[in-house]
Amino acid sequence: MIDFKAQAEELRDELVTRRRDLHMHPELAFEEFRTAGIVADELRQLGLEVQTGVGKTGVVAILEGAQDGPTVLVRADMDALPILEENTFEYKSTVPGKMHACGHDGHTTIGLGVAKLLSKYRDEIAGRVKFVFQPAEETVGGAKAMVADGVLENPHPDLTLGLHLWNSMPLGKLGVGEGPVMAGASIFTIKIAGKGGHAALPNAGVDPIACAAQMISALQTVVSRNIDPMESAVISVTRVQAGTAYNIIPQDAELWGTIRTFKIEVRDLVERRMREITEGIAQAMGCTATLVIEDGTLPVHNDPKITERTRAVLSQYVGEDGLLKDERTMGAEDVGFLMDDIPGMYFFVGASVPSPDGQYYGHHHPRFDFDENALPLSVALMASAVADYVIPSSNS
């Protein structure tokens, strides 16, 4: 049995130093040039075959084993967020308005740590590990761009593994749900055209605001009246735009919002009902309406067999009590594009950290931080999870 825990612990200082360096130099979606450079250099030093510029700023590296076997894709995301950091620690962001506020600095660090540990076992690996350092997760363009550039070919992965540091759970807890664990997200725009006029003479016009109000109310009934109560869906109208003055009925109104679902069939039902509602209400109110839905991410679906097998490996680190098997979120992740038709597992690593003022600051908050003890733990978890598939003797 390979003691990845002890080996990851030996990397602790290196992991913390790297994470802090990345934290100080955050880069937004598709601008991860410095980060990608560090990643590529490190992977080359480990002797891996490295490809850069995959999906603009993505990096792919293959660790080829001595014998043939399955290909395991390990995914880490690299991008930061357009947030002005409010933390005061010495490794806070040096770039005003940019911040690693989701933990992707940690994910990049962990991915490199896993590559370092596993590259020592090249002679024992049956198969290969495909390390994917992805840009632009936050804007949901990175995974798609990498897929378009062929990240899923030559070789095609047999399974995908990924993790997210999760600062709403304590260290030692792992979110290891099976089935859908993160939602697919779509955005929508509804353009409503009426007939403008004097607000004192509403009968002479067609009021798009009254129509928009009916639509907003009716859209709330899709989740409450059309979706099976045992399923999950969210429709949020997040922006309402119309009008310019107290005494003018405007010509147009516009609604924006987001849709979150765990299943494609639920997503399809939501879309059908939204079309019926917007068209039906517009017609009844004398307006015309155009609904445009743009798909952002696919639901992240954990394959039951892989989840069961990998949970057994992960439980060696946190015990059965540490495995939270029902952890799911309506948050979205574009790793779903790297798991579409490829079985895999995406899990959450508890990394909550008390802030100096005793408040909790979640992901995407200007004071977000995570417990750096989760770095060596995550390296060991992922290395063991991968080794279970490609190093026959790793867990025996």
Closest to 58 measured CA to CA, from 108, 159, 132, 116: 132
Count of residues that bind Ni ion according to CB under 5 A: 1
To Ni ion, the closest distance from the beta carbon of 102 in angstroms equals 4
Q: How far is the CB of 218 from Ni ion (least distance, A)?
A: 33
140 binds Ni ion (CB under 5 A): no
Compute the distance between CA of residue 46 and CA of residue 239 in angstroms, rounded to an integer: 49
Q: Is 202 helix (H, G, I), strand (E, B) or coil?
A: helix
The sign of the CA dihedral 160, 166, 171, 177 is negative
From the list 30-38, 97-105, 204-212, 350-358, the region that binds Ni ion by CB under 5 A is: 97-105
Alpha-carbon Rg of the chain, whole angstroms? 24
Shorter beta-carbon distance to Ni ion: residue 102 or 391 = 102
> Between residues 114 and 249, which has the closer beta carbon with respect to Ni ion?
114
Stretch that binds Ni ion, among 51-59, 96-104, 128-136, 190-198 (CB under 5 A): 96-104
Q: Judged by CB under 5 A, which stretch of 42-50, 99-107, 185-193, 338-346 contacts Ni ion?
A: 99-107
Nearer to Ni ion, 117 or 338 (CB): 338
- Cβ 146 vs Cβ 52: under 8 Å: no
Q: What is the largest CA-CA distance in the chain?
A: 83
Instruction: Report d(CA 79, CA 96) in Å as an integer.
Output: 15
Contact call for residue 306 and Ni ion (CB under 5 A)? no
Nearer to Ni ion, 273 or 367 (CB): 367
Minimum distance of Ni ion from residue 104's CB (angstroms): 6
**d(Cα 85, Cα 306) in Å, to the nearest integer?**
38
**Phi and psi at residue 137, to the nearest 5°:** -75, -40
> Helices 33-45 & 12-24, crossing angle to 10 degrees?
160
102 binds Ni ion (CB under 5 A): yes
Q: In this structure, are residues 190 and 278 in contact, taking their beta carbons and an 8 Å threshold?
A: yes
Token code pair at residue 164: 């997210």
State the nearest-atom distance from the C-beta of 301 to Ni ion, in Å: 18
Binding mask 224-243 for Ni ion (x = CB under 5 A): --------------------
As measured in angstroms, the least distance from the Cβ of 59 to Ni ion is 18
Q: What are phi and psi of 136, to 5 degrees?
A: 50, 50
Q: Which is nearer to Ni ion, 56 or 107 (by Cβ)?
A: 107
Would you say 134 or 278 has its CB closer to Ni ion? 134
Which residues are marked as active site? Answer: 79, 137
Q: Let me know if 110 is exposed, middle or buried by CB neighbors in 10 A (0-12, 13-18, 19+).
A: buried
Residues at the interface with Ni ion (CB under 5 A): 102
